[in-house]
Chain A
Amino acid sequence: MVHQYRNNGYNIVLDVDSGSVHVVDDLVYEVIGFLKERRTASAQEIMNALGGRYPQQEVEEALEEIRFLEKEGQLFAQDVYRGPVLDFKNRPTVVKALCLHIAHDCNLACQYCFAGEGEYHGRRALMSEETGRKALDFLVANSGHRRNLEVDFFGGEPLMNFDVVRKLTAYGRELEKKHDKHFRFTLTTNGVLLNEAVMDFCNQEMDNVVLSLDGRKQVHDRMRPTRNGKGSYDLIVPKFQEFARRRKALGKQYYIRGTFTHYNLDFAQDVLHFADLGFDQLSMEPVVAPADAPYAIRPEDLDPIKDQYDLLAREMIRRGKEGRGFTFFHFMIDLSGGPCVYKRLSGCGSGTEYLAVTPWGDLYPCHQFVGNEAFLLGNVEAGVTRQDLVGTFKTCNVYAKKECAECFARYYCSGGCAANSYNFHGRIDSVYEIGCELERKRVECALMIKAALASGEG
């Protein structure tokens, strides 16, 4: 399968099944378009189709280059991964990451929160140290030979239970020595309780921190008020700036992560606002919400959103050229060291490699399923008791979704989000169409940025 498109003056050809990305001239772009429709066309037929607009020698050269790439498996490659290469059902899986819901409580009342003000439509609760230790024991015991394990302190707002975060991190370090494992700890916070002690601790122990900020003050405060209805922007931004400055000095990762909604369809301005505040590791995701929510992304919003991604991509190139570049998570594609095909086809790992743990130790396929009893997998003491559900998630992959068969972005999105599929279609092996449409656009922009960098622009 070949996908070709034009963006920002570049002709880009993505050979989907080999992952090869080619930047081509107008002649090759036309020829490949013709060959997509008529794979066995002769040189003469192609010449005729081009209507004499290119010299014959040029056309012959172009065809020679196309055939060379085809022979090398970099153009019109076939999908050779299905079947014997990837036996999804029988592949052994181990648990390698936990999302620890350290607090089902929050000091903000964000309008779009899928956790319903941090409580996951249940009761307020904080995870005890004992439950957390059992969760880490469960992870180590179920991780097989995997050495790299991940634990994200999540909520609600994890800093509402910071003492337990501290103790569990220390316990994780003990387990590392005992079992020859490596823990990668991360923490997601709204910043309200961020202080010197938290920063020092995180800079020592957290491989990554995700700092929630939605953009410009009026945008952020509209969606992320405190429990008593006040905005939170002025309280958190100076702290985030200091935190990011310190982490950057230490060479540590952080992400400023926002959510955009129907209310700020000009979200590129919010991403650029992050950059103007001095942040340089940025992420901004479209809200996923019930279709009738006033802030939900609607089908008619898609075109303006795509325009914003284009604008953002061009601005990233421009600022990069000026020496004030930044990274944008969804435009980060590693063409030389990206994930292997096994990873790309099997998806995010929810329900198999990645599990969420509630404050009282229940296990769910991921943080977005928490609170839905139909997806309760077990608990940290008894382990996973619903192997049937794990099996369902194991076989939920790119090949299980008919929509992915014709999609050029399938090796980048890996079949999309099971929770989004469930929330919109009542089943995990479908797709969330708005998410698909936006992912395709982001992949196109990301590859265009690569083309610009390769051409010396940016």
Chain B
Amino acid sequence: MKHIKTLNTRSLQESVKKGGCGECQTSTVGNQTCEKNR
């Protein structure tokens, strides 16, 4: 990509399949990290 640099390595759509375990810390939620990714 010459004009665009994408910063993410994981999308929200992907987390539909892999998320929802509920083991994460109770929190702004967006400042948290998924427990599986600690």
Interface set of A (CB-CB < 8 Å, partner B): 17-25, 27-28, 58, 61-62, 65-66, 69, 73-74, 77, 80-81, 85, 94, 96-97, 146-148, 150, 184, 329-330, 332-344, 347-349, 353-354, 409, 411-414, 439, 442-443, 447, 450-451, 454-455
Contact = CB atoms under 8 A, between A and B. Distances in A.
A353 B20 CA distance: 13
A354 B12 contact: no
B29 A412 contact: yes
Contacts of B31: 329-330, 332-333, 412
B36 to A, nearest CB: 8
B7 A450 contact: yes
A354 B26 CA distance: 7
B28 to A, nearest CB: 5
B30 A344 contact: yes
Contacts of A97: 26
Nearest to A78: B13
Nearest to A59: B3
Nearest to A27: B3
B33 to A, nearest CB: 5
Contact of B3 (A18, A62, A77): A62
Given A77-B13, A81-B16, A334 B28 contact: no
The majority secondary structure among interface residues of chain B is loop
B6 A20 contact: yes
A19 B12 contact: yes
A303 B15 CA distance: 35
Nearest to B18: A340
B19 A342 contact: yes
Contacts of B34: 334, 337-340, 343
Interface of B: 1-13, 15-16, 18-20, 22-38
A332 B29 CA distance: 11
A65 B12 CA distance: 21
B37 A336 contact: yes
Nearest to A98: B26
Nearest to A150: B26
Nearest to A345: B29
A384 to B, nearest CB: 17
A18 B9 CA distance: 11
Given A17-B12, A85-B16, A338-B33, A348 B4 contact: no
A22 B6 contact: yes
Given A340-B20, A348-B26, A349-B26, A335 B3 contact: no
B8 A335 contact: yes
A17 B14 CA distance: 12
B27 A349 contact: yes
Nearest to A443: B30
Contacts of A353: 22, 26
Contacts of A443: 30
Given A333-B30, A347-B29, A22 B4 contact: yes
A411 B11 CA distance: 12
A451 B19 contact: no
In order of increasing CB-CB distance, the 4 nearest A-B pairs are A340-B19, A337-B37, A412-B30, A340-B15
Nearest to A350: B26
B19 to A, nearest CB: 2
